[in-house]
Amino acid sequence: MNQHDRYGKKLIKEIAGERLITRGSQIRVHYDGGVSASIDAVVEGTCAIEIESRVAKQIRGALVDLIFHELPNKLLIIIPVHMSNPEATAIHCRCILDKLRRKDHKIEVVLLSGTGDCPEFEIDKERICQALETFQREDTTRNGSLSARICSELLELGKIIEPMILFPALAREASELAITNPYAFAIACCLDRGMKSEIIWTIPFDIRQYLGSLDPYQINQMSLEDISLMFNRLPRKPRYIHDAPQTLDDLTRIVVLDCDGDASKLWEGKLATEVRRTFESIHGVGPGLANMAVLLIEKAFNVSFTDIDHHQMDIKPDVHTIRVLFRLGVSSKETDREAVEAARSLNPDFPGEIDGALWYIGREWCHANRPSCIQCPMEDLCLMVDVDI
Ligand code: SF4
């Protein structure tokens, strides 16, 4: 490292302190084919940095590594030593970086006044400080306004997704039945134990096929043995086949005796606490399942329980929600925990409210490989749009 580079690093060190990193994996740039290169430094969490005092042609070569470094903010520091016209070099480099940049990249080119031989500490520190502050200011604004736009887009999308899409069954008719017939919906909720959701949401449809109708009064007349026989003959069976008859029998009795056969009365005009209590009184339905039933009722029937603290209601992290939050740039890792935290930061009043939209985007467009970004409603806002995945 020559004295000019040392001068540049010393200036940044005085500004960024321990956040200046000049060696190790953070300064590496990885290219296809296992090739890698290094840039001069990064300021942790802020920007990638190249410090150049060479001739203009050599500086232009360094721009490639800077642009390909993973940090979106790029700082080029030019020390006026070997280039014939430092001002023109700075302008030229800025143009090149502007042409090469991705839309989430921010570029700052700083031409110093001093050099390693003839330092101008105060002037040059001020110039670098201004560039770093610009990054930080823009990051704050960008993150704040981008998050607000992402959240609002997800909430809008959530409003237009048909409930049927959020309750996928093995046949369209089965989905339709589950979200238009409250009794079918309640049956699926109560049997939803350790099974794929597609199968659970299909079972009420299978029962209707078997019996010829899905009538709580008819099922209420059946003995436990009859119900057990029915479950055993269904093409798809609940996981806990021995408990399922009692579960259906309990639910049906409540629907017939307390709700006049209309299962929507299980929740209509009720508090979430009452609904939970009712579901928990059914054989095999524990607090977790009763709680989930309450959430699903809100989702499927556009009910909003006034006694639920929606702040505490998180998204359900799964492959779709986790991936989409990560690719949108809202979460920093593809983990359950990061996804839950990211949804909380996006929509703190009700994190779970964006669950359906995230899940839908993941299922429809944001596939693990080759996502369909052009069709995706988040295309304008997404950090990873069109990135080769
Ligand atoms: S724009 Fe592309 S990467 Fe971003 S969420 Fe949509 S499909 Fe996924």
Q: Per-domain residue ranges for the chain?
A: 3-145, 164-308, 310-389
Q: Does the CB atom of residue 358 touch ligand 1 within 6 A?
A: no
SS3 349: coil
Residue 232: both structure tokens together? 């055993």
Q: Does the CB atom of residue 361 touch ligand 1 within 6 A?
A: yes
Q: Tokens 């209601």 label which residue?
A: 313
Instruction: Give, for ligand 1, the residue of 146, 346, 367, 373 to mutate: max count of ligand atoms closer than 8 Å to Cβ.
Output: 373
Q: Which residues 6+ apart lie within 8 Å of 238 measured at CB? A: 191, 193, 195, 200, 203, 231, 244
Residue 359: both structure tokens together? 């899940």
Side-chain half-sphere exposure of 327, counting CA atoms within 13 A: 29
Q: Which of 12, 104, 123 is nearest to 327 (CA)?
A: 104
What is the CATH architecture of 164-308? Answer: Orthogonal Bundle (1.10)
Query: Could you tell me the distance, in angstroms and rounded to a whole number, from the CA of residue 363 to the centre of ligand 1?
Result: 11
SS3 26: helix
Query: Could you tell me the distance, in angstroms and rounded to a whole number, from the CA of residue 323 to the centre of ligand 1?
Result: 9
- Topology, domain 310-389: Endonuclease Iii, domain 2 (1.10.1670)
Q: Does the CB atom of residue 210 touch ligand 1 within 6 A?
A: no
pTM over 0.75, yes/no: no
Q: Is the Cβ–Cβ distance between 22 and 9 less than 8 Å?
A: yes
- Residue of the nearest CA to atom 2 in ligand 1? 373
Q: Does the CB atom of residue 381 touch ligand 1 within 6 A?
A: no
Q: Which amino acid is at 360?
A: Y
Residue 181: both structure tokens together? 């017939």
Is the Cα dihedral 119, 125, 130, 135 positive or negative?
positive
Q: Is the Cβ–Cβ distance between 10 and 127 less than 8 Å?
A: no
Instruction: Give, for ligand 1, the residue of 150, 323, 324 to mutate: max count of ligand atoms closer than 8 Å to Cβ.
Output: 324
Distance CA 288, CA 292 (A): 6
Q: Does the CB atom of residue 327 touch ligand 1 within 6 A?
A: yes
pLDDT per residue as tens, the chain (389 positions): 689 999 999 999 999 998 899 999 999 998 888 889 999 999 987 899 999 999 999 999 899 999 999 898 999 999 999 999 999 999 999 999 999 988 778 999 999 999 999 999 999 999 999 999 888 877 777 777 888 999 999 999 988 888 778 788 888 899 999 989 999 999 999 998 777 778 999 999 999 999 999 999 999 999 999 999 999 999 999 988 999 999 999 999 999 999 999 999 999 999 999 999 999 999 999 887 887 888 889 888 888 888 887 887 888 788 899 999 999 988 888 998 999 999 999 999 988 889 889 989 998 999 998 899 999 999 988 877 766 55
**Torsion angle, CA of 218/220/223/227, rounded to 10 degrees?**
70
